[in-house]
Structures are given as C-alpha cells and as structure tokens.
Structure 1
Amino acid sequence: MIQREREISPPEDLVLAEAEAALAAVDRDPRSGLPLAERAARRAVRAGHAAGASTAERAWGHALLHMGDLAGAVRHLGRAAAWGARAGSPQLAAEARHKLAFAVLQRGRPQAALREIDAALPDLQGAPAARARAQRAIVLHVMGRIDESLAEYDAARRVLRREADLLGVQRMLVNRALVHADRHAFAVAGRDLAEAEALARELGRPLTIGLIANHLGLLETLRGDVPAALRHLDRAERIIAAHGAQLGTLYQDRAELLLSVGLIAEAKAAAERAVATFGRERRRLKVPEVQLLLTQAELLAGDPAAAGRHAAAALRRFRAQDRRAWAELARLNLLRARLAAGRRPRVAPAVVDAMVATLDAAGWPGAALDAAVVAALLAPPGGERERHYLDRAAGAARSRGPALVRARGWYARALQHRAAGDLRGVLSAARAGLRILDEHGSAMGATDLRVHAAAHRADLLALGLDAALDTGRPETLLEFSERARASRLLAPPVLPPEDPELTALLARLRTVTRELSAGASTALVGRQAALERRIRDRSRHIGAAAGGGPARPVAARELGAALGEWALVEYVRRDGRLHAVTVVDGRVRVHRLETRSPAELGDLIERVTFAVRRHARRSAAAQAAARALLADTAARLDALLLGPLSEVDERPLVVVPTGPLHSLPWSLVPSCAGRPVTVAPSASLWYRSRARRPAARSVVAVAGPRLPAAAPEAEAVAAVHRGAALTGAAATVGAVLAALPDAGLVHLAAHGRLSAENPLFSDIELADGPLMVYDVERLPRVPHTLVLAACDSGRPVVRTGDELMGLGVAFLARGAAQLVASVLPVPDATTRPLMVAFHEGLAAGRSPAAALAEAQAALRRADPEAAAAAAGFVCIGAGIDPLFA
C-alpha cells in the first residue's frame, strides 16, 4: 500500500516573505504581480498565517483595483482587513482599510471612504499613517474640499520624506499635482509630476510612468498646450494598455482635451467609452464627471435639450455621492443648457449665490468664472446683482490664466459694456477676447485642431456681430464679419517637420486605398480606418509658434482701392437672418435680405445640385425636368441673393459666401452667367491673395487613372502653355508632389473625393494611389494657381465660423493665390472643351475669373451637355488679375 505524502506547510517566515514580495511586485506592475499575490494568499490561508494572509490579500485587492475589478478589489481588501484583525495587528488591518477606502471611493461613496480612513488612522504610525493621510487627501479632493486636501498632503509629505518612503512620496506627488492643476497652479503641478516620474523610474514602476503621462496630458489640457497634451495621452495609452490597467480615466481626460478644441464628435465618442469602461468596472464615482463632459459637448453641438438631460443625471448622482461642489458644477451646466435653449430658468437668487460661492471655494477658476457669468445672465437687467457678477467674471480678462479662461473674462467684459449700452466697449472687448483665442488656436499645428478650436469664438462673435449691426456702421459690420470667418486661413501656415513615421503611414494608406479600388473587403476597410486614425493622431502632435494669430481684417478703404471696377458681396448670417455687405467704388453698404433659414437656403442649393446631376442622365424627359427645376431654383436664388443689390449692377464680382453658399455653382445664377465671378473664403484672404505673384511661369498638367479623357485633356492643356504633361504610370503621387513646389500653374485632371467625415483625407486619385490633404500640407511651396478638374474638389466642408476644410482649401491655406475647381460631380468625357477654352483665355491674358466665365458662356451657346459639366466650376481666391501679364 502506497502511503500518500502529507503536504508540508512552509515555514512561517517564508509565508510572510512571499506575501511581502507579492505586495512589492504588485506595486511595480499589477498585472504581472497578480499571480504572485494569488499564490501567496492561498498558501498563507492554508497555513493559517494571518499576517501573511492579510498582506497577500491586500496585494491581491490592490492589483484588482488597478485592473478595473472593483468588486474583486473590495472583496479581497475586506478579507485583508479581517485577517489583520485575526493576526492581532491593528496596523495590518488599518493598512488594508485605507486601501479599501480607495475602492469604496471609486464606487461613488466618498463619505464611506472617509469613514474607513478615519477609523484606520488611530492604529497607524509613521509612514503608514502618512500614506493614509495622503489617501484621505484624495477623498477630500474628490469632495471638492481643496484646502483641506492640500493640508493633508503637506502633513503626509513631511513624514514620508523624513521616513525616506520613496514610494509613498511618489504616490503623494502624483495625486497632489491634480489638486494644483485644478487650481491652475500649473508650474507647481508640473514640478510634482516631474519628481514623481523620476521616482517611478528609480523604483522601477513602468505602469506608474504611464499614469503620470496621463496626468501630464490633463495638465497640458488645462494649460492649453494641445499638441503636448496629445503626445502625453498617446504615450499614456500605450503604457497603460500594455499593463492591462484601467483606461477609463484616460478616455475621460482625452474627451476633455478634445472638447477644449471643439472636436465634438470625437469628444463624445471618448466620453462614451469612458462611461462604458467605468460602468464595466463599477467605478460609479467617475460616471457623473463624464456626464458633465457630455453636457458640454452637447452645448457646443447646439443641442441644449440633450445637454440638460446629461446635466440633470449628473446632478442626481453627485447628490447621491454627497459631492457638493460637483453637484453645484452640474447645476451650473444645467442652467447653461436651459439658457442655451432660450429659457430663463426660475431659480432663487440664494441658490445661485450658493452655487457661485461653492465653485469659487472649490478652487476651480474656470467653473467659478462661468458660474458668475450665468449668475449675471439670470439677474434682473441693469441691477446690482448683474453688475456685481459681471465685475467678478470680467476680472479674469487680465489674469494670467489659460487662454480659454481669459477669453471668457473678455466675454464677461463685453456683457458689462452691453448692459451699459456701450457698443464701442462691446466691440473692443470682443476684439480682445478673439485675439486671445486666435493666438491660442494658431499655437496648434494640426489643421483640424485649428479649425475646430474656432467653436470657442462663437459667443464673442455673436456679441460683436450684434453690436456691429446696432452701430449702423457698415464698415464695422464688415470688420466683424471678417473676424467671424475662416480665421485659420489668415494665420501663418505651419510646415510640419520631417516625420518618417507619418510618411510611412501615408504610403501604407495609399496602398490600402489602391487595393480597395480593386474590390472592398471588411479587412481592408478596417485597415484603412485604423491607418487614417493613426495619421490623424500623429499629425496632431505638431505644434506651432505661439503668438502667430491671424492678421487684422482688411480695412474697408484698402478693400475698396484693391477692387477697382469690381464689386464685393459678403454674406453674413445672424440670428437666422441673412445680410449682404457690399463694397462698390469704396463705399460700404449693408442690406438685410428677405431670407429663409439656413436650412431652407441649403435646400435651394441642394436642388441645384440635384438638377445638374439629373441633367447628366441620357433620358430626354429627365433632362427637360432637370432644366425646369434648375431654372426655377436659380432664379429664386438670384432674386434672393443679388436682386436687392442694385449698386452691384453688372460689375464683375468677388463673392464671400457663408454656410451652404460655399457650395453654390455661381455661374448657374442667371445674373452671373457670363460675368466674371471669383469666390473667396474671406475678403481679407482675397486681399492678401491678390498681392501674390507667380514665382515661376512653368506649367504642369497631370492626368489621373481610370479616366479615358484625362490624358488627352492634360496633353491639350500642356500644349496651350508649352508645358509638361504627366500621364499614365508617370503621374504618381511622388512625381506630382515633386512638381508642385516649382510650378506656377498646375492642372490636375483626376477622380476627386471629398471626405465629409474626415476632410483631411479628401483626395485626388493618381497612378499609385491618392494624393491627400495631408500631402499638400507637407509641401514647402504650392503653385500660384491650380486647376482641379475633379469631382467636388472645390466644395469645402464648412465648420463653425465658416472655417473650411477640403482639398482646394488646403492649397489656399498653403499659399496658393487662386484655384479653379468644381463644387459638383464632373462627368469624365465632357470637361476637355471647357478646360482648353479656359487655358486659352489664360494664355491670352485674361484673368482666371474672366477666362472661366467666357469659356462657360461659349459652351452654353455651343454644347449644352458640355455646359452642364462646366457649370459646377468656380474660381476661388484672387481671380481678377491676368496670370501671365
């Protein structure tokens, strides 16, 4: 008979040593330390070693806490406390309880967390007591008790440094930095995080380095350095994900960053990922914080009803968590949502006063400023309360705080002047606030960040435009109309540094896109989306020199002198009304047009597009119906947009559109038929573009693939100017990018694609794949004049503040003086007659606008089918001077 060998219990000192080693391993890396903690806990429990079991269970709970398993963390930390009591060690039990307090806090119970720590503190001495006090400081910070939190951190810091507890010091510094960041004490917060990272490296704690990178991203977000924030957050995500730790807070901080630059859709997606992650981990504490971010996103998106629902839900949760300061922050957002919806909330003055006082005491400068502004808006107009709160908010205008806070201060100052009936003061304050925001936006190198950051200009612009209209001075309305549009195009362009990684990503995307053109597959579509996301994120790391905001808007007298015999018409939207500002013979006039809503105006332009597309069908009946629809819609647009402007007469036109008018094919408007018309994103850009002269006279014509008529068109254009043609396999992205900087005029005949969702991936197709906006932005120079004979290449994506994105816009942003492009789909075989006639006009000394108008008029008489294809082309930019004078 075989005798079963009895299991031999390890020596007691070995059990405790294994538990302590597991605790140290978990501190360094929760994922790799977890198996050690599990094994040590099971051995200690089998051996009945209470101290070892307490230590190992604490390590196990600590690992689960970092990996997002809050329920498991609470269970094991509770066991650790019980084993500590069984061991007769109040200190072991207390250390488990203060760690348990953090798990309880994450479940949304800060008062319970505070009770756990306060119960543990009497049984702790020295460094363990100091660690518990640092934990207590975290809870107080969450509850909005900032001064008490800092006092606890200071008390803990002295003991931890005296005891040489480097790990305790490192943790304390990380968490204290967040308090300083909330108070906008950025230099102090940065020093804390720098020291904490140095300690984490010394202690060999890679996950902690990732968490510190996350906090650095939040710090730079609050400070306003968006490219730096993105670099930190991307680094944090790589490290944290590699260690299998929680990503919910990172998604939350990324959402806050994206909101700060107006990237609403991406911010909402990041916030929703954070909510899902916190829900999965049962971290109820964080969910209402993210609901406030969703509130702000919906406010920026213009949906106050959805914003109000998020704010109300957050308010209920904060009250349940007994977080008074956060509850008042939710109340502030709820009031902002109701004001944005056009409702004046009924709220007692005492409630409003308490909200402002609480947010001020919490040490949140931005929230306290917004609360004061809302309090002023809710106060009786002209009364003492309104003056008091506006005075309080306006003080931030000349503070040393972040750009967004200072700009809100100038908004409050503009409200002060409006309340006093001082229109000049309103305009002056609005200019100052816009200047701060423009400099802030220009410090970002990435185009999409610059464009979307303009969303923060909306409130100041609304006050400025209203005041400009009320002055009755057309020149002032022209000035603020210029400030309200395409500010990004007036800022100095940013040339990205050489980036081999970005170059490689673009090349890979071209390959995938070429493969997709041969036949889509789910795998290829997924690879394309992933590559586009990596390119977008990589490009956003680029910064630009601070202080390089847009130049001042062109003055009316300068504009009048530059126009000569031409007339300028600039359209302005305000409160659903459309106004036209005209400049003719140096005189500025304003017309209030009998307009429809922006949606109705967009509908008319969509009808034009529909009619032109329908005319391309071969059916005679379809073409006849399309012509009737087009004639009726174009006549209505003509009567609306140009009919009341008698001073314009039959002069050639510079048109500055707004909203959907950027996509209007102006040659189809009856009074513009045969008339030279050039379209400009702003009068100031037109004025600057006109001053540019071609650096070279060389001409290059390019033909893309899968268009049988493109090569003959390119060769014909090249022959007109005695230039070069790139066709067939020679028309690669590399060849075209090499030719663009040294050419004065470039003609591109190719398939075009406007990506409405991701405008920076709008492209034209060449022999080896697409040439994208990202490629254009990396060129040191672009041609003086471009012709884009490609579908939709002239149609921009219009963002808040008439900020424009798209392929044609990218060339203008890089310094092109003008381009000719289509805002409609272009049939393959029918553009050659227009293009040849247009280039012959250029060669004969016509201006681009005149050459295009004459070519379109000639086709209208001779070839109706070719005329329909030609109608979508517009001249964009300078347009009025001969190219080869």
Structure 2
Amino acid sequence: MLSGMNPTAALDQALEALRRADVDAGRAVPVAERAKRQADAEGDDAAASIAERAWGRALLQCGNVDSAISHLRDSVEFAEKSGSPALAGETRIPLAAALLQRGEPHEALRNIDDAVASLTGAGHARARAQRADILHQIGRLTEAHTEYESAISLLRDGGDLLNLQRALVNRGILHTERYVFPAAEADLEEARELAGRLGRKLATAIIDENLGFLETVRGDVPAALARLGRAEQAIGELGGQLGPVFSDQAELLLSVGARGEAADAAQRAVLAFERDQRHLLVPAARLLLTQAAVLGRDWTTALDQARQAHRDFVAQQRAEWAALAQLGVLRAQLALGHDTPISGEDAETMVATLSSAGWPAAALEAHLAAARLAGSRAEAKRSRFHLHRAGAVDRRGPAALRARGWYARALLAWEDGNAQATDRAVRAGLRILDEHAASLGATDLRAHSAAHRSELSELGLRLALRSGEPARVFEWAERGRAGRLAHRPVRPPDDPELAALLAELRATVREIDQPGRAAPDLRHRQSLLERRIRDRARLYPGVPGQPPATPVKVADLDLGDRALIEFARADGALHALSLVGGRLRLRALGAADDDVAELVARLAFALRRLAHRTGSAQSRAAALTLLQRTAEVLDRTLFGLLPEIGDRPLVLVPTGSLHSVPWSVLPSCSGRPVTVSPSATLWHAAAERRDAVLGTVAVAAGPGLAGAHDEAQAVAALHGVAPLAGEAATVEAVLKAVGTADTLHLAAHGRLAVDQPLFSDLRLHDGPLVVHDLERLDRVPRTVVLASCDSGRSVVCTGDELLGLSATFMGSGTVHLIASVVPVPDAETRPLMVEFHRGLARGAAPAAALADAQKSLRGNGLEALVAAAGFGCFGAGH
C-alpha cells in the first residue's frame, strides 16, 4: 500500500498490474486496462495514475515505446490531478527511460530531474539511478559515474535489491567502456548474483551479455564468444530484446577484424533497435557499420553511415556521440582525399569532446585524425601535438589500443625523419598485436585479426622502401604477409559436439542436393548448423606466449637454380623483389595495384568462358583472344623488368589479387616449373622438409563428375592402389586417407565459400568435406592433388592472410599442393592428372611434373588448354 492512500478496488487492481509489469509484462496489460476502467468508475485519480504507469511499463518491457510514452504521460497527468508530486515523480522515472529509448535524451533528463526533486527515500534513489543511466547513454560519462556512486550507495542503504542490481549493471558497463576492468567485473558479478537471488532469469542473461562485452573489450575473445552465445540463446528463449546482443557481437567481431560478420551483426542490431523502437541506439549501431567499412577500407560506405549517425546524434542533442560520428566522417573524408569542410577549430573541439567523454580509443583515433588533417594543411606543429597526445596512451590498456599508441609514436618519428625510432615503434606495435593473435585458436579469427596490423606493417614497408635497401624491403614484405599460417589452429580432434554438428551438416547438404529437396527450411537448417559449427570452433583459445613467425633471412633461402620473386604493394603501387644467384634486387614495377587486379579478373573471366561449352564458336574465340592478350600484358607488367630470372624455375610469392593468377598462361611461366607460396618464410619451411614426395598414395573420387571416376582409376593404377570411389568415397573414409597417406589425389566438385571460407568444401558420397573437418586432423599428406574447381583459390584477407582449402592444407603441413584457381572442365582434366602422376612416379619434383604435364597437352584443343591452365603448384614444389 502506498503511504497516505486509502485502499479501494481500483487501487488494489492498479497495484497488482504494477507488480505484474515487472515480472510478466505480456500479461500485465489487460490487468492494467481493467484497473484503469475501475479507477475511472470510482473517480480515483491516484489509482488511475498507477494503472496507467503499470500499462506504460508493461508496454515498454514489450518494446512498444510510443504507446508506453503515451500511457506514462497520462499517468503523470492523473498524478498531478490527484495532488501527489511523489506519484508523478514515480511515473517520471519510467517515462524518462522510455523517452531515452525513443531518442529524446534531453526531454528524458527534464523528466528525471523533476523526479529527483520530487521524490524522497527509495523513490529518490531510483530516480538518481535512472538519471545516471541517461547521462551514461548520452555520453556524459564523468557525470554519470558520479551519479551512479550516489545512487548505488542510496540503494544499498535502502535495501532496494532490484534497482541496486540494475544500477550495478549500468555502472559495470561504464567501467568497461573506460577500461576499468576489475571494477567492471566486480559490479557485473554482484549484479548477476542479485538477479539470481531475485529469480530474474532475463536479467541474468542480459548480465551475461554485458560480461561478454567486458571480455570483448578486455581482449579475451573465446570467453566473449562463449558469454555472448549463451546470452543470445537465453535472451531469445525468454523473449527479450536481442538488439544489444547483436551490437556486442559486432563489437567483438570488429575487435578481431572480421569486418563482414561485424557488418552483418551491426545491421541486425539496427533492424532490431528500429523494430523495438529503441531509436536512441540506432545511430550507435550505424557507427559499428562505419567501423566495419573502415576495416574493409570501404570509405564511401563509412562516410555514408557516419554522416547518417551524425545527423541522428545531432537531432538527439547528444554532443559526445555526435563528435564520435564526426570523427568517422573526418576519417572517411581524409581517406577518400575529399576536401573536408571541418575547420581546425572544429577538429580541436571534436578532440576535446571525445577526450573529456572518457572513451580512450575514440580519443586516440581523434588525435590521429586531427594530426592527419593538420598535416594535409601543412600545420606541422599541430600535427606533432596530436601525434604526441595519441602516443601517450595508457600502456596497460587493451592490445589494440596500445598498438595504436605505438602507431602514433611511429608516425611522429616518421615525420621527424628518425628511421630507427620509426622502426622500433612499428615493431613494438606489431609485437603486441601478434601476441594477442596467439590467444586466438580459430584460423579465421587469426587471419582476420591481421587487419589491425595493416597500417603498422605498411608503414614499416614504406620505411624500408624509403631506405632503398632490398634486404630491408624483403624483411618488411615478409612481416606483412601470411604470418598466421605459420601456426596451426587449435582443434581438439575428440570434440564430440563439433563432430556431431559436422555430421548433421553433411546430412543436411546431401538432402538439399537431392532433386526437388532444396526447400527453404533445409537451407535455413544448413545456415544455422554452419553458424553453430563456426561458433563452436572459435571457443578454443590459442597458445599464450606463442612467438610470432620470424621472417626468413635472405641468406637462409636455398634456392639452387631457382629464382624467387616476391611481390609487394605500397601506396597503391606494385614492387618486385627478385632473388637470383644469391643477389636480391628491388624494382618498382610502375603498375597500380588496381590495374593489376583488373587484368587478373579478365584472365579469370576468359578462362571461365572457355570452360563452358555452351557458348558459340565466335564467343569462345573472343574469349581465347582476351586470354592471350591479357596474359601478355600482365606478363610484361610483372616480369618485364626482371631479365635476371632467365629461364630458371620460379618460386613466386604473390600479393593481393595475384594470389588468383593462373600462372601457367603467362608467357614467362609457360613450360617452366613454377611454385607459388603465401610467403618466402613458408616456402623455406616447406622446402626444408626432405622426406620423399610420394610415399603411400591414396586416391578418391567424388560424385557428380563424369570424368572423376575414370581419372581416379587411372591415377590409382599408376601407383598400384585401389581408389575410393562411389559409395566408398565417404567423408570419413577420405579423412582417414588424409590422415594416413603421404600423397593424396582427390577428384571432386570443389567450392570456395567466399563469405565463409572455412565452409569451402569438396563434395563426397555422403556430403561435403569442409575445412573444419580438415582442421580436426593431427596430420595431412605431404603431397595433395585437388582435381577440383577453385580448390587452389583462397579468400585473401588483409595482410595477405589466406583462408580456404589450399591455405588449410598448407597451414596444416602439406608441402606440395596441386590445385586449380579457376573452374576446370571435368573430362579433360584426366590426361593432365595422369601425366602429372607419371612424372611423380619417375621422381620428378611436383612443380616440374606439372609443367611437363601442361606442356604435353599443348595443341590438344581449347578444352585441354583450359584444363591445364588453371592448375598451379603451391608450397615447396621441389
């Protein structure tokens, strides 16, 4: 019973509705509606106010913000009619929360200030807690912290456990944002204990979500994944709002550089917040979309999203958040080379606002952007000031923040012309990021995390190029590429849950492949299974303290009569390092990276046209002409300035789009042994293995390819073994062969899953063999031949990190890999593979055996040309 109020039927019903609004919001609305009718009948304004408050709180819990605000405002009117400021103040607390959700923070502050002034005791404490949350949400963190301290003390003294739990959660989030991790964890764990004691299951799940956010910011990715996964499931089952979970997932994925998944999660957050009418949170989710675009260097999208977020924040009168969006706009404009309208004074205001807000990472990025802006305007003194401030970051913070601080110090040394200091700072930043990457067990997370080291490694390469010393350029070209492949993924092979999920995925895909069975529900099941497999595989931590791969020294490369060519990109231009006869040479190729990418795309287009037999003779002739002319242009671009290679066998280390080149079609590569490696360091490690190439041989053929069975029979006959074919070619049987054979030949449908490369697959009798299957093995064959479309092509991440079937085999220990980077015709592959294996049987090195096989098919028609052209030798090659 409320003090000073006489019991009536209407009041009893209103109080019951208010109780239900917190514990069973969906069923509280009809109770509140009945209480309101009873209050109207009795003319009881106080009861009507409580009924309207219960109605509004229930609607707010269910996500109907606009209707909730309408009922809560009615509640305030009835309270004022009843002459009770305290009753009005109690309603203004949830009204302020609803207005905040709708994106009206200053109206929310006005209402909560009225509530603070009109309430005493427990109501006053609750109002202070709500005021702290509003200040927190609009970015006034210092004021919010002070208010939380007072409110939590009052709530403890008053024994209000429910609102104490809520306030502790919010203060824990604020501590997380300010990187005060012990205090954040203490608040959240205490809140979790209170929620459990109060029987608040949804609140417990939401606290788990916030603990996941804490682990994200602290840098423990597997722990964050586990927390957020459990929270999403529990909140979904309890009917809670998932927008905040999606937002936290986007933050987590951004922290490891998984920009595509992060953008998807951020977009889901935007849609969820809009659906739940939580308009205050929409622009913050757009900033996550901005960050994902920045990681992908999609500056146009970054600019669009940041501008939209800025407009929303300005409309909501949230100055701190508007400054954060302005930072996104400025970074995109600077990257695009646009004339930015922001003045130096406005930039200083932005920096000051973000620094005082208490967001360390945002403040650092603001200093970096302001320094770049000043540099573009020849304001050297101002640029140095901001770089110095950015470099003064707390060195006890998260890895990404500390690394950015070293990047700022490197830029400052670069501007000073101090090469040694620049080099030291770049190496220090990279060391921090590489140590953090070692904590990640999953291959894809480690590969994507290289995005955070790109600016540092690029600065190191630019510094080396400025020196003009080939050896230094070689070292930094190596430091900037494929370092993650040097460490095998952490995958306990006896994980029964992962094995069961993979088996269920195979069964589902096989059912989809049946005629007339590709139903939407099966596709949905496949998508859910893939996500569960991905999330499960990411839970395993890496090996703490694992040292990063050390780039091979030029003097340690034993090339024999081979020539090594390593390509590198800097500032949009392509460079080549050639190592021939112990001499390392550096040359600028005079080619823009984008132009080379266009030539590579034309080659792939022409080969795809030729691989399909449905085109007219005229179109195929045009495709052949395009192939030949493009190959000549690309050949001149890449090798025209490298006469020293002569006719030597080649070891090629590509970069960017060059990873997808069908090298055998280039005149300088045609007919000679060519092997391709993600890095010279990996080539050196593979070449150091001196065991025999062939050893025990296993051969398998997948279904659906007319020529695969014949090819497998012919290859198996050469080595005197029986092939796995038909019903015998199951995933289990092939994986057993992969785990025991020294040489594996597999003819099957291959697919590179560009969006989820660890689900790239080879189709077998009972379904797909995916990358996740391979990563569970203790060993792989020394030599692998994948007679499959696109099996040699990889998804190229930032830093030339590779994901896909071929990358997995090489990263897991395969020394020689023969695979195709384009689709290949089925039947015409058989002669190439037979000739290749004959060469292996004679003792030829894989690269030489492939070159000889490709030469033997010359003059056998377009189909033979296309079948031979797509295949390359990856790894050691000799």
TM-score (norm 2): 0.93
- Structure 1's unaligned 5+ residue stretches are 1-10, 881-885
Alpha carbons of structure 1 residues 343 and 867: separation in structure 2 relative to 1, 3 Å = closer
Give the 5 Å matches for 1:735-884. Answer: 735-860=733-858, 865-880=863-878
Deviates more, 1:197-206 or 1:378-387: 378-387
Mapped to 2, the partners of 1:77 and 1:39 lie a distance apart of: 16
Mapped to 1, the partners of 2:364 and 2:811 lie a distance apart of: 35
Matching residue within 355, 358, 367 for 1:360:
355
Alpha carbons of structure 1 residues 623 and 295: separation in structure 2 relative to 1, 3 Å = closer
Correspondence for 1:207 = 202
Deviation of 1:703 (Å): 1.3
The one-letter code of the counterpart of 2:679 is S
Matching residue within 698, 701, 708 for 2:699:
701
Give the 5 Å matches for 1:459-470. Answer: 459-470=455-466
Alpha carbons of structure 1 residues 198 and 722: separation in structure 2 relative to 1, 3 Å = same
Mapped to 2, the partners of 1:234 and 1:705 lie a distance apart of: 36
Question: 2:446 matched to 1:450?
Answer: yes
Deviation of 1:727 (Å): 1.6
Give the 5 Å matches for 1:488-567. Answer: 488-496=484-492, 498-519=494-515, 520-548=518-546, 550-559=548-557, 562-567=558-563
Give the 5 Å matches for 1:61-80. Answer: 61-80=56-75
Mapped to 1, the partners of 2:386 and 2:365 lie a distance apart of: 10
Indicate the SS of the match to 1:459: helix
Mapped to 1, the partners of 2:863 and 2:158 lie a distance apart of: 87
Mapped to 2, the partners of 1:609 and 1:315 lie a distance apart of: 41
Mapped to 2, the partners of 1:206 and 1:38 lie a distance apart of: 27
Alpha carbons of structure 1 residues 45 and 260: separation in structure 2 relative to 1, 3 Å = farther
Indicate the SS of the match to 1:217: helix
Deviates more, 1:53-62 or 1:141-150: 53-62
Correspondence for 2:403 = 407
The one-letter code of the counterpart of 1:826 is V
Correspondence for 1:127 = 122
Correspondence for 1:674 = 671
Indicate the SS of the match to 1:705: coil
Question: 2:385 matched to 1:388?
Answer: yes
Q: Does the aligned pair in 2 maintain the 1:295–1:306 contact within 8 Å?
A: yes
Correspondence for 2:266 = 271
Mapped to 1, the partners of 2:626 and 2:318 lie a distance apart of: 61
Indicate the SS of the match to 1:782: coil
Mapped to 2, the partners of 1:538 and 1:75 lie a distance apart of: 45
Deviation of 1:50 (Å): 4.4
Q: Does the aligned pair in 2 maintain the 1:584–1:648 contact within 8 Å?
A: yes
Deviation of 1:221 (Å): 2.2
Deviates more, 1:308-317 or 1:576-585: 308-317
Alpha carbons of structure 1 residues 497 and 436: separation in structure 2 relative to 1, 3 Å = farther
Indicate the SS of the match to 1:756: coil
Correspondence for 1:665 = 662
Q: Does the aligned pair in 1 maintain the 2:607–2:822 contact within 8 Å?
A: no
| Deviations, residues 332-370 of structure 1 (Å, cap 9, x unaligned) | 222111111113535433322222222111110001111
Deviation of 1:557 (Å): 1.4
Mapped to 2, the partners of 1:226 and 1:82 lie a distance apart of: 49
The one-letter code of the counterpart of 2:126 is R
Correspondence for 2:568 = 572
Q: Does the aligned pair in 2 maintain the 1:12–1:49 contact within 8 Å?
A: no
Alpha carbons of structure 1 residues 773 and 227: separation in structure 2 relative to 1, 3 Å = same
The one-letter code of the counterpart of 2:292 is A
| Deviations, residues 108-153 of structure 1 (Å, cap 9, x unaligned) | 2222212212212233222221111011111111232222211111
Deviation of 1:791 (Å): 1.2
Correspondence for 2:166 = 171
Correspondence for 2:483 = 487
Mapped to 1, the partners of 2:279 and 2:609 lie a distance apart of: 53
Matching residue within 231, 250, 254 for 2:226:
231
Deviation of 1:776 (Å): 1.0
Q: Does the aligned pair in 2 maintain the 1:765–1:771 contact within 8 Å?
A: yes
Alpha carbons of structure 1 residues 542 and 45: separation in structure 2 relative to 1, 3 Å = farther
The one-letter code of the counterpart of 1:129 is H
Indicate the SS of the match to 1:554: coil
Q: Does the aligned pair in 1 maintain the 2:323–2:354 contact within 8 Å?
A: yes
The one-letter code of the counterpart of 2:426 is A
Correspondence for 2:186 = 191
Alpha carbons of structure 1 residues 605 and 289: separation in structure 2 relative to 1, 3 Å = closer
Alpha carbons of structure 1 residues 32 and 851: separation in structure 2 relative to 1, 3 Å = farther
Deviation of 1:608 (Å): 5.5
Correspondence for 2:3 = none
Indicate the SS of the match to 2:584: strand
Q: Does the aligned pair in 1 maintain the 2:610–2:862 contact within 8 Å?
A: no
Matching residue within 311, 322, 341 for 2:317:
322
**Root-mean-square deviation (Å):** 2.5
Deviation of 1:873 (Å): 1.3
Indicate the SS of the match to 1:450: helix
Indicate the SS of the match to 2:768: strand
| Deviations, residues 482-520 of structure 1 (Å, cap 9, x unaligned) | 122222212343224644333333222222222232333
Question: 2:292 matched to 1:286?
Answer: no
Q: Give the share of equivalent positions with the same residue, in percent.
A: 52
How many residue pairs match? The answer is 867
Deviation of 1:324 (Å): 1.7
Deviation of 1:262 (Å): 2.7
Mapped to 2, the partners of 1:768 and 1:281 lie a distance apart of: 43
Question: 2:99 matched to 1:104?
Answer: yes
The one-letter code of the counterpart of 2:643 is S
| Deviations, residues 817-846 of structure 1 (Å, cap 9, x unaligned) | 221111122222222222222222222222
Q: Does the aligned pair in 1 maintain the 2:603–2:631 contact within 8 Å?
A: no
Indicate the SS of the match to 1:379: helix
Indicate the SS of the match to 1:702: strand
Deviation of 1:198 (Å): 0.9
Alpha carbons of structure 1 residues 31 and 468: separation in structure 2 relative to 1, 3 Å = farther
Mapped to 1, the partners of 2:664 and 2:286 lie a distance apart of: 48
Indicate the SS of the match to 2:240: coil
Correspondence for 1:6 = none
Q: Does the aligned pair in 1 maintain the 2:491–2:540 contact within 8 Å?
A: no
Q: Does the aligned pair in 2 maintain the 1:615–1:626 contact within 8 Å?
A: no
Give the 5 Å matches for 1:5-24. Answer: 12=7, 16-24=11-19
Indicate the SS of the match to 1:573: strand
Question: 2:581 matched to 1:585?
Answer: yes
Question: 2:111 matched to 1:113?
Answer: no
Alpha carbons of structure 1 residues 615 and 139: separation in structure 2 relative to 1, 3 Å = closer
Deviates more, 1:47-56 or 1:768-777: 47-56
Alpha carbons of structure 1 residues 611 and 315: separation in structure 2 relative to 1, 3 Å = closer
Deviation of 1:863 (Å): 7.6
The one-letter code of the counterpart of 1:825 is P
Alpha carbons of structure 1 residues 242 and 728: separation in structure 2 relative to 1, 3 Å = same
Q: Does the aligned pair in 2 maintain the 1:598–1:659 contact within 8 Å?
A: no
Q: Does the aligned pair in 2 maintain the 1:28–1:207 contact within 8 Å?
A: no
Correspondence for 1:8 = none
Alpha carbons of structure 1 residues 709 and 127: separation in structure 2 relative to 1, 3 Å = same
Correspondence for 2:468 = 472
Matching residue within 59, 64, 71 for 2:54:
59
Correspondence for 2:335 = 340
Indicate the SS of the match to 2:792: coil
Correspondence for 1:7 = none
Indicate the SS of the match to 1:99: helix
